[in-house]
C-alpha cells in the first residue's frame, strides 16, 4: 500500500541555519504530495503541496520538489527562525478519489536562538 518514510529523529539547529527534512514515498499511480506542520498546541496545518512530477510547492520560505525518479519530496528552508520550531509531516494522497492521506512519522524541528 501507499506509505511515506521520513528521516529518523528530531532536528535541532541554530537560527538562520539551512533546514532539510528528507521524505520518500511508495505509491501506485500518481499521488499528490504534501507537507503538514504542527505547531505546539495547535492542529495540523497544510504547509505546501505538489500534485505532479517536477512541481515545486512553496510557502513561508519552505520549498519541496516532487521528484518522481527518486520518489522523494524533501522539505527545505534556507534560513530558519525560532518560530519554525514544530513537527513536520510528509504525506501523500493516493488513488482513493478523496483526500485520504498517508502520513510519515513526522520530524520534530527545534530552532535555537
* Residue whose C-alpha is closest to residue 39's, from 105, 92, 106: 106
C-beta of 21: minimal distance to another protein in Å? 13
Q: Cα(1)–Cα(45) distance, rounded to whole angstroms? A: 25
User: Which residue's CB is nearer to another protein, number 59 or number 72?
Assistant: 59
CB of 79 to another protein, least distance (A): 26
| DSSP conformational letter for 7 | -
Centroid of chain to Cα 24: 10
Residues of the shown chain interacting with another protein in the complex, contacts defined by CB under 8 A: 4, 32, 36, 41-46, 49, 89, 91, 93, 96-106
Q: Closest distance between another protein and the C-beta of residue 92, in Å?
A: 10
Amino acid at each position: 500500500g501507499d506509505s511515506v518514510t521520513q528521516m529518523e529523529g528530531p532536528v535541532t539547529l541554530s537560527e538562520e541555519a539551512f533546514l532539510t527534512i528528507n521524505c520518500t514515498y511508495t505509491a501506485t499511480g500518481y499521488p499528490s504530495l504534501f507537507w503538514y506542520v504542527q505547531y505546539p498546541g495547535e492542529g495540523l496545518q497544510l504547509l505546501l503541496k505538489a500534485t505532479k512530477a517536477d512541481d515545486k510547492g512553496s510557502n513561508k520560505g519552505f520549498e519541496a520538489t516532487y521528484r518522481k525518479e527518486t520518489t522523494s519530496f524533501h522539505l527545505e528552508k534556507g534560513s530558519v527562525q525560532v518560530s519554525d520550531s514544530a513537527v513536520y509531516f510528509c504525506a501523500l494522497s493516493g488513488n482513493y478519489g478523496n483526500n485520504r492521506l498517508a502520513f510519515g512519522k513526522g520530524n520534530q524541528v527545534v530552532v535555537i536562538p
